[in-house]
């Protein structure tokens, strides 16, 4: 395998469900999925080991349980299954693009993918396969952000790259305040002191306690994913 020119040898990329649908829409947009696969392919050709944790918000989130009239735990399992659908779509696009890929799930769906087994996942990464992690952590009341932080630590990744709809962290919500200031670099303590919202508390605490650098970047920026994976100066980097 080619040696990586990036500061990262192994990354965990969190792609939320929003990355699989057009803005304001639900379901899957295959053109977007192909775009994601192409950017991931370019990272693997640089020798970067890539694991992705996939969200499911484009299909269903557990917190919609009230409006759907479904028990929260059931809706959470439905959300986890949504991540399986997205992950299979991404894996298909990657394989069509010539990228060896394995889908590993935290919930048992053995007809369509492998179960998540740490040592096996590490082996896939070492062999240059993209590992698409679905099913979150396999338990209700968690998010795929938390799954991403947990898996990044468990798989000894150099960084967690969180693809979002904004180009990093601001001092206040840029969608509401025109004068919001972009913050390119922060420590975990600064995020807490300034009460900035980066990701859910459980995920954030895991990154902080395990010294896992967290890069937040815009998934819609041109080649955003490829730049983030190569450690280029985009978005906001948070580290101790
Ligand atoms: N989910 C869960 N446990 C997990 C991960 C996810 O119950 O470990 C459920 C939860 O209902 C969540 C949904 O799956 O809302 C989809 O994941 P998430 O909302 O994190 O997706 P994203 O916002 O990244 O698209």
As a three-state string, the secondary structure of 112-156 is: CCEECCHHHHHHHHHCCCEEEEECCCCCCCCCHHHHHHHHHHHCC
Q: What local confidence, expressed as pLDDT, does residue 222 receive?
A: 87
Q: What local confidence, expressed as pLDDT, does residue 136 receive?
A: 98
Q: Which residues line ligand 1 (CB under 6 A)?
A: 16-18, 55-57, 61-62, 75-76, 79-80, 82-83, 136-137, 139-140, 142-145, 147
C-alpha to C-alpha distance for 52 and 227, rounded to whole angstroms: 16
Ligand 1 nearest atom to the CA of residue 15, by list position: 24
Ligand 1 nearest atom to the CA of residue 138, by list position: 8
Please provide residue 13's backbone torsions phi and psi, each rounded to the nearest 5 degrees. Answer: -105, 125
C-alpha to C-alpha distance for 39 and 44, rounded to whole angstroms: 9
Asked whether residue 106 is domain-assigned, the answer is: yes
Could you give the residue ranges of the DSSP H alpha helices within 46-136? 65-68, 72-96, 118-126
Asked whether residue 74 is domain-assigned, the answer is: yes
Helix, strand or coil, per DSSP, at residue 3: coil
C-alpha atoms less than 13 angstroms from C-alpha of 101 in its C-beta half-sphere: 23
Asked whether residue 185 is domain-assigned, the answer is: yes
Instruction: Check residue 135 and give left, alpha or beta (phi > 0: left; psi -120 to 50: alpha).
Output: left
Helix, strand or coil, per DSSP, at residue 94: helix
Q: What local confidence, expressed as pLDDT, does residue 2 receive?
A: 52
Asked whether residue 35 is domain-assigned, the answer is: yes
Asked whether residue 1 is domain-assigned, the answer is: no
Q: What local confidence, expressed as pLDDT, does residue 20 receive?
A: 96
Q: What local confidence, expressed as pLDDT, does residue 86 receive?
A: 98
Instruction: Specify whether the CB–CB gap between 84 and 105 falls below 8 A.
Output: yes
Q: What local confidence, expressed as pLDDT, does residue 3 receive?
A: 52
Q: Which residue numbers in the chain have pLDDT < 70?
A: 1-4
Strand partners, 114: 104
User: Domain tally for the chain?
Assistant: 1
CATH number where 219 lies: 3.40.1160.10
Ligand 1 nearest atom to the CA of residue 80, by list position: 14
- Rounded to whole angstroms, what are the CA distances from 233 to 7, 113, 130? 12, 35, 23
Q: What local confidence, expressed as pLDDT, does residue 4 receive?
A: 54
Strand partners, 164: 218
- The pTM assigned to this predicted structure is 0.96
Asked whether residue 121 is domain-assigned, the answer is: yes
Asked whether residue 93 is domain-assigned, the answer is: yes
Asked whether residue 4 is domain-assigned, the answer is: no
- Best mutation site among 64, 80, 104 for ligand 1, i.e. most ligand atoms within 8 A of its Cβ? 80
Q: What local confidence, expressed as pLDDT, does residue 24 receive?
A: 87
189: containing domain:
10-238
Strand partners, 214: 160, 238
């Amino acid at each position: 395998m080619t040696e990586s020119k990036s500061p990262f040898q192994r990354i965990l990329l969190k792609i939320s469900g929003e990355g699989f649908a057009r803005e304001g829409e639900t379901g899957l947009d295959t053109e977007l999925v192909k775009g994601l696969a192409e950017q991931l392919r370019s990272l693997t050709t640089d020798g970067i080991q890539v694991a992705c944790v996939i969200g499911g918000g484009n299909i269903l989130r557990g917190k919609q349980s009230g409006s759907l009239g479904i028990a929260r735990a059931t809706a959470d399992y439905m959300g986890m299954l949504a991540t399986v659908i997205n992950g299979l779509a991404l894996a298909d696009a990657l394989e069509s693009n010539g990228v060896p890929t394995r889908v590993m799930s935290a919930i048992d769906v053995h007809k369509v993918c492998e179960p998540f087994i740490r040592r096996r996942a590490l082996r896939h990464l070492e062999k240059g396969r993209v590992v698409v992690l679905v099913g979150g952590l396999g338990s209700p009341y968690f998010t795929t952000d938390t799954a991403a932080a947990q898996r990044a630590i468990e798989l000894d990744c150099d960084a967690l790259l969180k693809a979002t709809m904004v180009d990093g962290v601001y001092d206040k919500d840029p969608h509401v305040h025109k004068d919001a200031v972009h913050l390119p670099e922060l420590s975990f303590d600064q995020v807490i002191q300034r009460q900035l919202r980066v990701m859910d508390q459980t995920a954030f605490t895991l990154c902080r306690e395990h010294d896992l650098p967290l890069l937040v970047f815009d998934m819609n920026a041109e080649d955003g994913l490829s730049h983030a994976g190569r450690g280029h100066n985009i978005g906001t980097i948070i580290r101790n």
